[in-house]
Structure 1
Amino acid sequence: MPPRSHRTSRDAQRERTQARILAAARRLFASAGYDRTTVRAIAREAGSDPGLVIRYFGSKEQLFARAAELPPDDRLEGEPARIAEQMLASLQAKLTSDAAGSVAVLRSMLTHPDAEREVRQALADQQRAGAAALGSPDAALRIGLVGVLVLGVVLGRDLLELDGLRDAPPEQVVALLRPAIHALTYGGAEPGPRGS
């Protein structure tokens, strides 16, 4: 059995290679879309070998699924005003993170059925959890409206690169959206205990 430090360095090297491949895949899926991105191009971009791409990720489809994973939102809980602030914090995190993963998801969901299903399922799960946390009779509609607002902001900023939105500081975007998110979350009225 190899010494522990040798295994650790091989493990670290494998993790670095996987991270390079994943970063390259995100860049290429974002710029070229799913259909025009090849395993060979990803390997070349990562400074790796196509065999390693398959060894570490299984297939192009599995690599895309990893590259396009939506980070789970933190669990929403508390009173409606707190839930609104949690959603705003999640939006700010999305706007300050590397956009390549989101762009890959957004671009590919328009042309690739698996990507569309994956995004739809992830969003549906997030919306169900958000509606359960909000707990009002129209919670599903309210959370759905917040979801499409956030999706529109991310789409406009990262995929369409709309003037003004593309270069706006995330803090400014969140500050401008704060009243709308609060209004959608609890109707603009002073938030009270659930069900009141």
Structure 2
Amino acid sequence: MTGTTEKQQAARRSDATRAAILAAARERFAEDGYEKATIRAIARDAKIDPSMVMRYYGNKAGLFAAAVSIDPDLLGLDLGPHEDIGRTLVRHFLTLWEENGELTALIRVAATDSQAADRMQTVLRDQLLPLARRLGRDPEEAQTRAALCASTMLGLALTRYVLRFPASTALTHDQITAWLGPTLHRYLTAPNP
């Protein structure tokens, strides 16, 4: 009985330490950005030794992937009339990217770190794929349809928010929606070419 209690106490301490690290990391990443945030600063904020951060998360990229919360809420999104599906999704993604600075940092990290890339793929697998299944004509094509939508929106995010191409940043939301909305709509609903 004592062994179980000790294990439970250790598990609670471990959970509390992880929660403190993640809370400190979210604040530090939001305040300093990914590049400037350091493991030492995060550990100091969490009032723990930096080695504990490394023990639980391996490196800064692993910590970032665990700390960044991505919930685009695609499954609960009101898509409106069928003909507006693509435009609704584009507007929704623009709002997500502009209201959540963590996403810009995540796309930077995901290009070179497998844990961050897995985090981005989780969104595709858990949200965009079920949406494509619901809207597509052939459920077996859902992966292709979801991947095409993701490539379009991630391409926009990369050029607009990370690389900051002048032609991309100059576009208004209405222009982006007008250009990309029909494309996403076609990807999700058109017959297989």
- Aligned-CA RMSD value: 3.7
- Which structure has the highest helix share of the two? 2
Secondary structure, aligned partner of 1:165:
helix
Q: Deviations along 1:95-133, whole A, 9 cap, x unmatched?
A: 43133x112211211222211222222222223211221
1:139 positional shift: 3.8
Query: Does 1:25 pair with 2:29?
Result: yes
Q: Within 5 A, what are the aligned runs for 1:1-196? A: 21-26=25-30, 28=32, 30-31=34-35, 37-42=37-42, 48=45, 50-51=47-48, 59-60=56-57, 63-75=63-75, 80-99=82-101, 101-137=102-138, 138-187=141-190
2: CA distance between counterparts of 1:151 and 1:81?
23
2: CA distance between counterparts of 1:63 and 1:171?
36
1:154 positional shift: 0.7
2: CA distance between counterparts of 1:141 and 1:163?
30
| Residue 167 to residue 125, structure 1, CA distance change in 2 (3 Å) | same
Q: Quick one: which amino acid aligns to residue 131 of structure 1?
A: A
TM-score by length of 2: 0.64
Q: Deviations along 1:172-193, whole A, 9 cap, x unmatched?
A: 3223222322332333x9xxxx
1:66 positional shift: 4.4
1: CA distance between counterparts of 2:170 and 2:49?
37
What residue ranges of structure 1 are gaps of 5+ in the alignment? 1-17, 190-196
TM-score by length of 1: 0.64
| Residue 96 to residue 49, structure 1, CA distance change in 2 (3 Å) | closer
Question: Number of matched residues?
Answer: 166
What residue ranges of structure 2 are gaps of 5+ in the alignment? 1-21
